Structure 1
């Protein structure tokens, strides 16, 4: 599990497992957002199985599955609402963390400039610079 801190209250990771959940709780995470569709790869844990165990351990859980590159307005809005209505800190995860950090940036792009979003993602090790025009368009409304 590769956890990358994006800001003080939000981090992303690659695929987590049920075995990772106690460690995530011990590290202080309160909310988990799964951005993987079920069945993406063989051996991937089912979202509902992870959700059940996560809830047993006291996590808030959101499942906002994103197929690679398919960032719909509904998914962006769901992510935005999940961030606004949940206990922090939040960990979002997918196969590598890229979809999760991209979805975070899109959800934040009406409040932060492209430069701010790209810098935050870069500090976490993700290059979102190709998306700058999309972020700026949402920031300007």
Structure 2
């Protein structure tokens, strides 16, 4: 599991499993956001299994699935809201981490953060969001 820190409170990663939840708890993470739809690929851990693993450690768990390229404003808003309401630090994950990073960026844009600074931060973490430089699929 490779964690990529975006902010003081948020890191993103590729798919995690139950053992990774144990590691995250040991590293002090207090919340997990799953941005992957259940059943996206065979063998992927079900969100209920990961939620139970998080609960065993007293961690908050949020399943906020996103299909790649479908950036619905309600999901972007829910992600942004979670950054202010879930216990921190937070790990958000999807298949590669890109969807989670993109949700963070879109929620930051919606909150009025500087687009170029957000894209640069994502690049520092290893994510190329340059396609969002001009605009986003949600119209922000």
Could you say which TM-score interval applies, normalised by the shorter chain?
A: over 0.9
Q: What is the number of residues matched between the two proteins?
A: 137
Q: 1:52-91 counterparts in 2 under 5 A?
A: 52-91=52-91
Following TM superposition, the consecutive aligned residue runs of length 4 or more in structure 1 with deviations greater than 3 angstroms are none
For residue 28 of structure 1, report the CA deviation from its aligned partner. Answer: 1.4
* 1:91-115 residue CA offsets vs partner (Å, 9 max, x unmatched): 0000000000000011111231111
Measured in 1, the distance between the counterparts of 2:22 and 2:52 equals: 13
Measured in 1, the distance between the counterparts of 2:32 and 2:96 equals: 15
Q: What is residue 44 of structure 1 aligned with on the other side?
A: 44
CA RMSD of aligned residues (A): 1.1
* 1:6-64 residue CA offsets vs partner (Å, 9 max, x unmatched): 12111000000001111101111111000000000000000011101111111111110
* Unaligned 5+ runs, structure 1: none
TM superposition score normalised by structure 1: 0.93
Q: What is residue 125 of structure 2 aligned with on the other side?
A: 124
SS of 2:11's partner is strand
* Unaligned 5+ runs, structure 2: none
Matched, 1:3 2:14: no
